[in-house]
Amino acid sequence: MTTKIPYRAGLTAFAALALGVLFADAALAQAAPEAAAAAPKLDSGDTAWMLTSTALVLLMTIPGLALFYGGMVRKKNVLATVMQSFAVTCLVTVLWMIVGYSLAFTEGAPQWGDTIGGYVGGLSQVMLNAMTGSSVNGLAKTIPESVYMTYQMTFAIITPALICGAFADRMKFSALLWFMGAWLILVYCPIAHSVWGPDGFLGGAGVLDFAGGTVVHINAGTAGLVCALVLGKRRGFGTESFAPHNLVLSVIGASLLWVGWFGFNAGSAVAANGTAGMAMAVTQIATATAGLGWMFAEWVARGKPSVLGIISGAVAGLVAITPASGFVLPGGALVIGIAAGVGCFWASTSLKSMLGYDDSLDAFGVHAIGGIIGALLTGVFAREMLNPAVPADAATGTAAVAAKMGLLDGNAGQVLTQLYGVACTLIYCAIATFIILKVIDVIIGLRVSDEVERDGLDLNLHGEVVP
């Protein structure tokens, strides 16, 4: 049985609804200009470039870093080495989605107070629950937040993967998974927030790090050195040959790293603009110069230029130009490349020999030392002409004036600010990494047995071998 609504009652209801809609439209019309002004405008060009950059940075880890490291170990450990990069990619992706992005790139939770907020973000984006197809992050307003989140995820992936080079041939796979998960949350996320977060204390102090000199490279290299010291030297170190089993793989890996690094550095402009263009140019210049610098330094010191040397030098140049890439001109990139090539060659050979630590694939010598060189020289060569001008004072009509950047622009204090950022990263990373390793060692142990190490990790940990 249906109930009929009387004509007049229906008309009255319709009129009331129409009046309600009209009043609502009037209210929205008044609010529309304000909403339009506040709403971010997504840019298709920026979004396309950042989608490309995200794929390029992921390429750096798989297959780039996997092949680079895999070619440098002995044949019996090659599968275990590439497995580390692949497994870290999977693990970090999930942890970044659950909590990592929120801890790194949201404002500190109000209940945590301003002090803690400067060191780590809040929990508003746990499980990415506030993210929609049209939402944006306040740090990247012209691209969807989903793209920005995924782009930053690829940075979070490669950073712990770099650490694996320091302890190649000797860590348990189970221990590696626990360590990487804990290190991402307790070390990477706080450092990333401190430098790049909306209320990070290092960024607020004026530390310049365009694409990850402190966050990625000094962080990973320092952790690598601590890992090498805590785990101890490889079995047979100093008495057995540890020659790379396939340098062709390493050359392919280094080449993929070089190509992918354009997404790493130029992509950090978070826009398809002139900053991205200059970042790409100086990345190419510094990388090539550093490759030559290492090659000639080795040629003089050892009489022959090696394939391993020139690709290691190129990676050192990529590392060193990373913090500076959005701030320096080509001339500065040339000097940074020379310093990185020669400096990292010395650190990976003479310094390692003098101190006696076993950093298997030179994670510390290339990434920490290269990152430090790049961070400090950013304070020298950062130029005001490459950075957005300070808006003109509307009250006085004063013309816009760009802030002084580095030593060449008369701001010698920037070098000290960069040193402050380096020191904070080194100290926090070293202490936190040491504690994480010791806890894991007590619970499940860090290192494989002598028998497993002697016979190879591929067969014993994964049940597979390279034919």
pLDDT, position 403: 60
Among 456, 450, 433, 452, residue whose Cα is nearest residue 230: 433
Spatial contact of 120 and 190, defined as CB atoms under 8 Å apart? yes
* Dist CA 314 CA 357 (whole Å): 23
pLDDT, position 340: 98
pLDDT, position 111: 53
Spatial contact of 394 and 343, defined as CB atoms under 8 Å apart? no
The answer to whether domain 41-462 has CATH 3.40.640.10 is no
112-116: long-range pairs with CB below 8 Å, 24+: 114/199
Question: What's the gap between Cα 60 and its chain centre?
Answer: 11
pLDDT, position 230: 97
pLDDT, position 130: 85
Among 161, 202, 206, 204, residue whose Cα is nearest residue 184: 161
pLDDT, position 6: 41
**Domain chopping of the chain, boundaries:** 41-462
Spatial contact of 168 and 100, defined as CB atoms under 8 Å apart? no
pLDDT, position 467: 85
Q: Which three-class secondary structure string do you get for the chain? A: CCCCCCHHHHHHHHHHHHHHHHHHHHHHHHHHHHHHHHCCCCCHHHHHHHHHHHHHHHHHHHHHHHHHHHHHCCHHHHHHHHHHHHHHHHHHHHHHHHHHHHHHHCCCCHHHHHHHHCCCCCCCCHHHCCCCCCCCECCECCCCHHHHHHHHHHHHHHHHHHHHHHCCCCECHHHHHHHHHHHHHHHHHHHHHHHHCCCCHHHHCCCCCCCCHHHHHHHHHHHHHHHHHHHCCCCCCCCCCCCCCCHHHHHHHHHHHHHHHHHHHHHHHCCCCHHHHHHHHHHHHHHHHHHHHHHHHHHHHHCCCCHHHHHHHHHHHHHHHCCCCCCCCHHHHHHHHHHHHHHHHHHHHHHHHHHCCCCCCCHHHHHHHHHHHHHHHHHHHCCHHHCCCECCECCCCECCECCCCCHHHCCCHHHHHHHHHHHHHHHHHHHHHHHHHHHHHHHCCCECCHHHHHHCHHHHHHCCCCC
This prediction's pTM: 0.88
pLDDT, position 30: 42
pLDDT in tens, the chain (467 residues): 333 434 344 434 334 433 343 333 333 334 334 433 455 689 999 999 999 999 999 999 999 999 999 999 999 999 999 999 999 999 999 999 999 999 999 987 665 555 566 899 989 999 999 898 888 888 888 999 999 999 999 999 999 999 999 999 999 999 999 999 999 999 999 999 999 998 899 999 999 999 999 999 999 999 999 999 999 999 988 888 899 999 999 999 999 999 999 999 999 999 999 999 999 999 999 999 999 999 999 999 999 999 999 999 999 999 999 999 999 999 999 999 999 999 999 999 999 999 999 999 999 999 999 999 999 999 999 998 887 544 434 443 443 344 678 999 999 999 999 999 999 999 999 999 999 999 999 999 999 999 999 999 999 999 999 98
Q: Dmax of the chain from CA atoms? A: 103
What are 112's two structure tokens? 């945590």
pLDDT, position 364: 97
pLDDT, position 134: 81
